[in-house]
Amino acid sequence: MNRRRTSLLISLLTWLAALAVIPCAAEPVAHQRLSWARGATFYEIFVRSFADSDGDGIGDLRGLTSKLDYLNDGNPATTTDLDVEAIWLMPVFDSPSDHGYDTTDYYAINPQYGTLADFDSLLAAAHRRGIRVIVDLVINHTSNRHPWFVESASSPSSPMRDWYVWRADDPGWRQPWGGGRTWHRMDGAYYYGVFWGGMPDLNFNNAEVRLAIKQVAAFWLMRGADGFRLDAARHLIEDGPGEQQVNTPGTHAFWKEFAAYVRKGAPEALLVGENWTSTDQIAQFYGSTETVAGGDELPMSFNFPLAGSILQAVRSGDATPIVSTLANVARLYPPGACDAPFLSNHDTPRVATELGSDGRKLRTAAALLLTLPGSPFIYYGEEVGLEGGKPDPNIRTPMPWNDREPGGGFTTGRPWRPFSEGRAQANVEWQADSPSSLLSQYRRLIHLRASSPALRNGSIAVLDAGEGNRQLLAFVREAGGERVLVVHNLGLTAVTAGPWDLHASEAKLLYATAGGATARAKGDTRVTIPGACSAIWRLK
Ligand code: NOJ
């Protein structure tokens, strides 16, 4: 065991022991150490669809481990990898479903994906390359086949009855996003399951449940996981129908308790919330940044409104939706909060499908994602323009490594799902050596972002692009003595914009998605930027 693991183990054992102790009021606030995560580029992986090591057509942990060099080869001098700094594994715990969002055992790896030993090997191989690994933690609900639920449902007098949410009648609450029923009948009683009857909600008002979930978190952190993506984070505790089913005071209180617990034992562990809601509600999940830098609740939450705004803006060629979402974020997030922007994920149509496979639009969307503040999350395959729309399985198809083999480099057997349309060009092998490919653009931008303090962690000041220039999004980002000017032209025609009073004497072009972008920095700064082009200049 290396030194990092040994000291982590000691602090975690102390921390586990502390679970049994009532916290004393004078206990100092534990701080998080998340500089590794703030600004880092993350990559979301559906293990079932990424790479299959044993030819059964199902992706697995060993397959993923064999592809780590594609994600980051650990050598900063090479530019042939994507250079992502962290991966998010969609659910890997045991589960009866393909997607895994209905856990049956929080302490076991889905046997289709491998074993705990495979998980340990993946972590070791990832960490050797400087890749952190966060895992999906699905705790709002379990599978209805989880032994906890089976026991709870066995009798109203079961000692675990209160681990789930039961009542004698159906009060008729609907899913808060305007869907179906949430109370499910069983043996003359009703249990709450906000997603569906196969996913009964755990009762987070029950102290034993809260303790059990903390133990699950401790187990994976002790194994070396670097944090969690928190599924359905705003749904934990309900106080009544409609608005009272989400974002409740009890839910916030639990996340504060959970985050404090995690910070104490594993201050470097990241928690990223799936709070699929409006900017003002997402802002609440950071808690206060006054006592804990980054927030005393969840240090990151995905920015769903921004994803919608980026796609809408790129589709229409009008940057206004992005400008207004960024203004809302600046107004509503607590100071020092770290955003988590993304374009699409396993629940939303893929970018290439949303934007109609127009290469220029895909480039603009990627450049926006990778130049905005926060920690960008890329959904596997997005970097090669993988297509896929609803229903969900079509958004989660096998990774197209090549178009030569029937298994596409994903498997030597028969893929568990067919590949998406468009594999002839939307594949890694086709794009890897082409400097003009989408994949090459992702690689260059991620490398640039990682090496630029301003792009990785800088502040953002959105510039007024001027009347009639709604197709432009221009901003300055600044950190660590570096200042960059970023201009995205979402339209198809060239634009000259400025002058901006940026007190710059020099503008050095660092990156442009098309030729012909120029900036004049003597006196006020002005830029000329071709249609469908994103450009980055370093200002001196
Ligand atoms: C949100 C996840 O992203 C989704 O895929 C899942 O089905 C639900 N939560 C329930 O876990």
Q: Tell me the CATH number at 503.
A: 2.60.40.1180
Ligand 1 atom closest to the CA of 141, numbered from 1: 11
Considering only CA atoms, which residue is closest to atom 10 of ligand 1? 101
Domain boundary pick from 418, 433, 453:
453
The domain in which residue 314 lies consists of: 41-143+203-237+244-453
Ligand 1 atom closest to the CA of 276, numbered from 1: 1
Considering only CA atoms, which residue is closest to atom 2 of ligand 1? 231
- Residue 25: pLDDT band with limits 50, 70, 90: low
* 347 and 277 in a common domain: yes
Centre of ligand 1 to C-alpha 469, Å, is 39
Domain boundary pick from 125, 159, 192:
192
Ligand 1 atom closest to the CA of 102, numbered from 1: 11
- Residue 29: pLDDT band with limits 50, 70, 90: confident
Centre of ligand 1 to C-alpha 202, Å, is 15
Centre of ligand 1 to C-alpha 395, Å, is 13
469 within a domain of the structure (yes/no)? yes
9 within a domain of the structure (yes/no)? no
In this structure, of 21-25, 305-309, 318-322, 399-403, the range with the lowest mean pLDDT score is 21-25
Mutate to test the pocket of ligand 1, among 47, 89, 101 (most ligand atoms within 8 A of CB): 101
Q: Give residue 2's pLDDT.
A: 52
CATH number (domain holding residue 424): 3.20.20.80
> Above 90 in pLDDT, residue 27?
no
CA distance 263 to 31: 6
Domain boundary pick from 424, 453, 482:
453
* 401 and 329 in a common domain: yes
3-state class of 122 per DSSP?
A: helix
* 154 and 136 in a common domain: no
Ligand 1 atom closest to the CA of 392, numbered from 1: 5
User: In this predicted model, what pLDDT tens digit does every residue of 184-222 receive, in sequence order?
Assistant: 999 999 999 999 999 999 999 999 999 999 999 999 999
Distance of CA 344 to the CA centre of its chain: 9
* 533 and 504 in a common domain: yes
* 215 and 186 in a common domain: no
CA distance 33 to 269: 8
8 within a domain of the structure (yes/no)? no
Radius of gyration of the chain (CA): 24
Percent of the chain with pLDDT over 90: 93
* 151 and 129 in a common domain: no
Ligand 1 atom closest to the CA of 347, numbered from 1: 5
Centre of ligand 1 to C-alpha 487, Å, is 35
* 501 and 377 in a common domain: no
Considering only CA atoms, which residue is closest to atom 9 of ligand 1? 232
* 490 and 420 in a common domain: no
**Could you tell me how many helices (H) and strands (E) the chain has, helices first?**
15, 21
Centre of ligand 1 to C-alpha 274, Å, is 9
16 within a domain of the structure (yes/no)? no
Percent of the chain with pLDDT over 70: 95
Contacts of 535 (CB under 8 A, 6+ apart): 486, 487, 509, 511, 512, 513, 517, 519, 527, 529
> Above 50 in pLDDT, residue 23?
no
Per the model's pLDDT, the better-predicted residue between 57 and 522 turns out to be 57
Q: What mean pLDDT comes out for the span 149-169?
A: 98
Total of domains in the chain:
3
Centre of ligand 1 to C-alpha 264, Å, is 28
Q: Give residue 20's pLDDT.
A: 46
The candidate with the shortest Cα–Cα distance to 426, out of 399, 394, 396, 447, is 399
- Residue 28: pLDDT band with limits 50, 70, 90: confident
* 495 and 402 in a common domain: no
- Residue 273: pLDDT band with limits 50, 70, 90: very high
Mutate to test the pocket of ligand 1, among 89, 195, 394 (most ligand atoms within 8 A of CB): 195
Q: Which long-range contacts (CB under 8 A, 24 or more apart) does 411-417 make?
A: 411/51, 411/52, 411/55, 411/56, 411/57, 411/58, 411/59, 412/52, 412/55, 413/52, 413/55, 413/56, 413/57, 414/57, 415/52, 415/57, 416/48, 416/49, 416/57, 416/58, 416/59, 416/98, 417/49, 417/393
* 230 and 337 in a common domain: yes
359 within a domain of the structure (yes/no)? yes
* 285 and 157 in a common domain: no
Mutate to test the pocket of ligand 1, among 135, 140, 231 (most ligand atoms within 8 A of CB): 231
> Above 80 in pLDDT, residue 151?
yes
Residues designated as active site = 231, 274
Considering only CA atoms, which residue is closest to atom 11 of ligand 1? 101
Q: What mean pLDDT comes out for the span 71-96?
A: 97
366 within a domain of the structure (yes/no)? yes
Q: Give residue 358's pLDDT.
A: 86
294 within a domain of the structure (yes/no)? yes
Q: Give residue 24's pLDDT.
A: 46
198 within a domain of the structure (yes/no)? no
Q: Give residue 210's pLDDT.
A: 98
Ligand 1 atom closest to the CA of 101, numbered from 1: 11
Q: Which residues approach ligand 1 with their CB closer than 6 A?
A: 99, 101, 138, 195, 231-232, 274, 346-347
Q: What mean pLDDT comes out for the span 175-189?
A: 96
CATH number (domain holding residue 187): 3.90.400.10
Q: Give residue 171's pLDDT.
A: 97
Centre of ligand 1 to C-alpha 390, Å, is 14
User: In this predicted model, what pLDDT tens digit does every residue of 129-146 receive, in sequence order?
Assistant: 999 999 999 999 999 999
Q: Give residue 16's pLDDT.
A: 57
In this structure, of 18-32, 249-263, 449-463, the range with the lowest mean pLDDT score is 18-32
Considering only CA atoms, which residue is closest to atom 7 of ligand 1? 101
Average model confidence (pLDDT) across the chain: 95
Considering only CA atoms, which residue is closest to atom 6 of ligand 1? 101
User: In this predicted model, what pLDDT tens digit does every residue of 471-504 receive, in sequence order?
Assistant: 999 999 999 999 999 999 999 999 999 999 999 9
Q: Give residue 532's pLDDT.
A: 97
Q: What is the sign, positive or negative, of the torsion defined by CA atoms of 476, 477, 479, 481?
A: negative
Name the range with the highest mean pLDDT among 7-11, 223-227, 353-357.
Answer: 223-227
* 447 and 305 in a common domain: yes
pTM summary value: 0.96
